[in-house]
Structure 1
Amino acid sequence: MAEVCMDMPSLTGFPGQPAGSRLAYASERESTTGLAETLAALANAHGGTLIVSGGRGTSLAALHNPAAAIEMVLAAALSCTPPLIIPLPQIIEHQGMSLLAVEVPSGLPYVYAVQGRYLRREGANNVPLSPAALHRLFSERADVGWERQTPPGASLQELDSDLITAYARRVGPPAGDDPLALLTRRGCLIDGIPTNAGLLLFGRDVAARFPQAELTLVSYRGREPADTFEREDICAPLPEAIRRAERWLNEHMRKGSRMIGLEREDWTQFPPGAVREALVNAVAHRDYATRGEGIRITMFSDRLEVYSPGRLPGHVTLDNIRAERFSRNPAIVQVLADLGLVERLGYGIDRMLRQLASAGLPPATFRETAAGFLVILPGQPMAEAVPGGVDTAAWRRMGLNDRQIDALLFVVEHERITNRDLQEMHPDVSPETIRRDLSDLVSRGLLLKVGDKRATYYILK
């Protein structure tokens, strides 16, 4: 079992701290029902961390059987009504002891019960919800849970076994030992029948079941829609759709470089990390129950617009969007988190804003439309973005290597380049490779060779 350092950012509390509203303790000898009550109480409040040890309370002791403790916690989560979807518990080391850290995400869309009892974490205790408090919580978490529903006629044959195997391998033991049990814990199967979430994530033919899951990507050269554009439509299992869309956006995003002395400085039309956050958030949090339209991502020269069907969920508003957490699709989000495509805690907007600020760009704009949510990432036309910069996107699409791009940038700045100039920029590369790089640029019609032997230099053709 891999060990996890205690500087993990996902934990909301650490061993040794007093129990509280977001930190609870349990013994590995605790009953499944007792564990389930604590997990449900945290989920019905603001989430938090449960530390399981071989001792009692804050009197910590090393686990006697870590694997059994993990299975017991997962069984407890599954025994909640509805089943509670949590990240895989993690073995951590604390003062030489192996303990189990169990994260309960915040912002879940359901109200959880254990054997008909509804509890909520208040201070260091799990307390029953009063009728008024329970009614209020149900009102706040009013989503019907479309991702948990099983569509008519769904069967295991609709799932791609290769995708499931790869996912289980990524998650690893013990959860990966039984892929179907893992999918059940993740809310992708109910009684052996795929849920909507399971079909979206692992389906063989997503387009047949859910045409509304399509991503439409469009790139315009200017600031407004025009007759000339490039377009890609993607309807695939959600992890694959994210990866394909990210590649397309990176390929169509204008990239540039400039030479500062012998060093190359690269820049992009938009911060790639911010683009990725906007894309992943749209896929993870859109309302898939809304049919008739998919996610639309439109790239202009000065901005990127990302539209997803469905208004803001739960209690999240435009005013509190940075502070509040609410997951419309917890099963989808958890699987994407397992695959490393999204952070489970939901701080994507904060990261997006930080990346824009680091690039010297204004904050993103967030808007609710009549039936959806729109994110606008600001950017700048490349000619205005970096003084002396050159758009190198076309060169990259031609398959030029970094040395050849450096050579062309050097010629743009200095009007000519020699073998020695390029050799000084890349001293670890052989002279023969440098010669072939420049010769290839000549054969491609990008450079013109002037002179002979030691007097040879190259200029733009």
Structure 2
Amino acid sequence: MATFGPQRRRELQKVVQDLVGAELDGHLPPLKEREDLDFKEEAGRRVRGQLEPGQSQNQEAATKLADEVACLANTRGGGVLILGVEDGTGRILGTALDREWLRQAIHRAVDVAPYIEAHRVAGQRILAIYVAESPTVVEDTSDRIRWRVGDRCVPVDRSEWWIHRQEALNVDVMAAESSASPAAITPGAWKLLTAQLSPEGEPLDERQTLQRIGVLRGEHLSIAGELLLTPAGRVLVELTLLDIQGGQVTNRMQPAADESLLEQLERVQAALDIANDHVTLERGFTHRSVRRVPRSAAREAILNGLIHRDWGSPEPTQVRWFDVDSILEVRSPGAFTGGVTSENILAERHARYPALADAFRALGMVEKEGLGVDRMFQAMIVLGHRVPSIVETAGPHVEATLVGGEPVRGVVEFVDAVRPVERQRDPRLALILDHLFHHAFIDVPTAARILHRDRQGAEVALRIATQTSVKGEALVVPYEDVWVLSPAARGLIAHLEAADPLRQFFRYGSTDPQDLHRIVDEWFTTHSTMRTRDLAQLGGVSRNTAQKALNELEGLTVEKFGSGRATAYRRMPADQAA
């Protein structure tokens, strides 16, 4: 028996299918004592012994089920709850609970999101709630730790749980041996393997090739190899084309279910390449053709949505392309894992399935050492696009959003002027520049936040920026305790203000009072006082213009103190500001 992963899910689904198929006179066959299967009647429906009509939402039932889900998640191999069946008798009672509502209610209660399937049996609707084994302790709604022993949940000491789980925690399900032999590899998958590993078309030795990518276990494939190279039996990734967000579907591309993951990925990528067409960037007598969303960034987003997704869920990874707005969305099942969040995704590296991630690396399809996300950010920024968004959403799912379109010519020209040339490909520099295209200054805490690094890592990145040049001068220079674009750099991007009114490139490089007031507001988020020369330096304006802008704010949001050369301004207390 597999203990977790896709193979374990298939085993449990087979158990449920056999039970459903054995229904007789409104009853499922009586259960033999086992840890991974239980019948549950929907709580809260019996009133004075009478079974009341079911509802789509039932919080009492969701709470009780959440406790049972937590218990199964703590049990080796997880299991399945069949809701809508009387325990002990197997009598089918049915349930009207909405699947998605129940899934999210359980997730909110115990931080486990089970997969739920509905079945129609003897005229009644029942739910099969599949629970994967958890790699960490799961407490129920009463803060208890329980696991299954035989046919019931019993308390377990936290230390005992970890002792029993220590060996299992070191196992990567994708590294385990599957029941599939190399003979099950599809011709299409082998063709893609050959193209990836032998571009010259040289014949490949099957066994050596499978060993090279790390998916051979004796005479069988690993679970990762089975997933990558053999018929999937279902759609693993699909592409939907829409005109705008919330608009009309213009096309949908679903690969054949009998294709492997490699083949399905290739078909989706090919279809996306057609939709994500090229635009021409003219520079004098030269023309540069680029896609609306860089292909490398789009491919990295899709690969991340496959490699790091929860393969215990049968839901496909969904790729959406919004044509009018040049937006790519990749939505994959499963939450962030290993401490990764939206705020540290550029720094934290964690593979849910290390063996699968390693197979993709061996194929040369993803970056080593987890640098792919960094490259995705860099590829978008250097064309003037927004920084990608990667967030966890309800379900749970992870959604990556890349907003492309026409490149911003001024940004491209600016990046082309960066020296040494190697720094044009540095994701750290790209993120610092993106910030300074929209803000007058950057400090160490801000750099640490946008780079997802600690203070030391932020200081290193800022040092790199000061040692980089444009037009023979420093790219970034220090000012007091912050860093700003040098005069040479400002001169290169001065015309960017009109490039994209929504994104407000270089809005601080003007004498407009509102732009200067924004600099003042931003400065006071990290500083207690501001002098006239501070605003003059940050805004690139004369001292007289800076003085006028500060005087306009005096009595409204700032107050003046000191005199002569010691004159400065500070933010007024909130209860005194006009």
Q: Normalized against structure 2, the TM-score is what?
A: 0.37
Larger radius of gyration: 2
